[in-house]
Structure 1
Amino acid sequence: MHRPKRHTDDKASGRKSFACTEYRDLLTAVHQQLGAPIVLVWHNLNVHKDRRMRGFTDAQDWITAYYLPPYAPDLTPVRGFQTLA
């Protein structure tokens, strides 16, 4: 099971995140469970662009990674983009 790491330096907010190694382990476990290629669409979180993470994803023939532009609110709904319905 993969869980976000609680940052000890940010106790007030209780901020949680995944480290590069946790993303690597999660992707490997998902690939093993699915037995199929994985397509990632990453936004610009620093750990997604980290050289170790890019090195890992580039070395795997079963991962295809796409990186969103630095500012793309229309492609990142959590950033406040709302569709017109």
Structure 2
Amino acid sequence: MGAEDLPPDRANRIADAVEDVERNVTSRRGFQHVSRDAYTDPDEQDRRDVIERKFEKLTEATLEQYRLYTGKSRSSQSTPRARR
């Protein structure tokens, strides 16, 4: 299925979601300054949790874009779990 085959409402939903992903990526740039030592510092568990959750949400949003475009449902795919 190509982009020209999408109904307008579906294409708009995908475009909106892509914009959300773009906003999320842009807002995550602020975490680029965090060094590995600062990230893995045992006293900074809260910071690590926030960063991981934000990237988890970004990944989920990206996967949702894939599902919207391909028409696949969440139940028809296995989503890999993050390694810890």
TM normalised by structure 2 equals 0.30
Q: Larger RCO: Structure 1 or Structure 2 (Cα < 8 Å, ≥ 6 residues apart)?
A: 2
TM normalised by structure 1 equals 0.30
* Bigger radius of gyration among the two: 2
Q: Which has the higher helix share?
A: 2
